[in-house]
Amino acid sequence: MSEKKRGQLLVISGFSGAGKGTVVSKLLSLHPDRYRISISATTRSPRDGEQDGIHYFFVSTEKFEQMIRQGELLEHARYVDHYYGTPRRFVEDSLDAGYDVILEIEQQGAFQVKKAMPQAMLIFISPPSAGELERRLRGRGTESEEQIRSRLARACEEAEYIDRYDYFVLNDTVDRCAAEIENLVEAERCKVCHNRAEADRLREDLRVYRKEER
């Protein structure tokens, strides 16, 4: 009998306004039984409509620092004056159960995850152009002029680190971008390094088969 294969860990990052959230929602809606999204802990306050335990675990700075000390976070980073981090237990348990786990996190955290778990797939989601990024940021209608400028400035800084990702996926349309990520996950699943147990079983099967043939 084959035991359930460990799931893939997908780390998805991209500039603010690149449309990561929409792409991740699309993946989840297409395959709710396959993907699980990790819910991060953060010290920032909830925005309108955000719920504790659904969008984030909203915690105090003291609690967050305790989580760091106790090794409860797979990665953590400071972003615009607040802590953000990924609870380790949920990720490990979901991967063990065979789910593909999605982390939608910023760059510092993405690189920490890659260091801790080299098999993680680091996926960078890109807007088609700088002009389109600005258009999307303005279209959200949630940022002031100053915030839009600072997000574009940050995008310039973050673009310097794209080469450290494993995959670069263009988000021109949500459907195409989600389909491309799915293809990447399928290809990753077929890598020999993720199929060692199956290869061992095949070798053993062949040995037994040859003995029976004689």
Sites of contact with ligand 5GP (CB under 6 A): 40, 44, 75, 77, 79, 84-86, 104-106, 108-109
Distance CA 169, CA 179 (A): 10
For the CB of residue 85, give the shortest distance to ligand 5GP in the complex, in Å.
Answer: 5
18, 160, 209 from 141: Cα distances, Å: 15, 27, 66
* Complex with ligand 5GP: residue 7 or 85, whichever CB lies closer: 85
Distance CA 100, CA 191 (A): 15
Distance CA 166, CA 120 (A): 9
For the CB of residue 106, give the shortest distance to ligand 5GP in the complex, in Å.
Answer: 4
For the CB of residue 105, give the shortest distance to ligand 5GP in the complex, in Å.
Answer: 4
Distance CA 115, CA 25 (A): 26
SS3 55: coil
For the CB of residue 128, give the shortest distance to ligand 5GP in the complex, in Å.
Answer: 19
CA atoms within 13 A on the CB side of 132: 11
For the CB of residue 116, give the shortest distance to ligand 5GP in the complex, in Å.
Answer: 13
Distance CA 58, CA 54 (A): 10
Q: Report the residue number whose CB is nearest to ligand 5GP.
A: 109
Per the listing, tokens 């500039």 go with 15
CB 151 within 8 A of CB 143: yes
* Complex with ligand 5GP: residue 5 or 164, whichever CB lies closer: 164
* Complex with ligand 5GP: residue 113 or 178, whichever CB lies closer: 113
* Complex with ligand 5GP: residue 141 or 192, whichever CB lies closer: 141
For the CB of residue 50, give the shortest distance to ligand 5GP in the complex, in Å.
Answer: 8
* Complex with ligand 5GP: residue 105 or 169, whichever CB lies closer: 105
* Complex with ligand 5GP: residue 105 or 123, whichever CB lies closer: 105
Per the listing, tokens 């709710």 go with 32
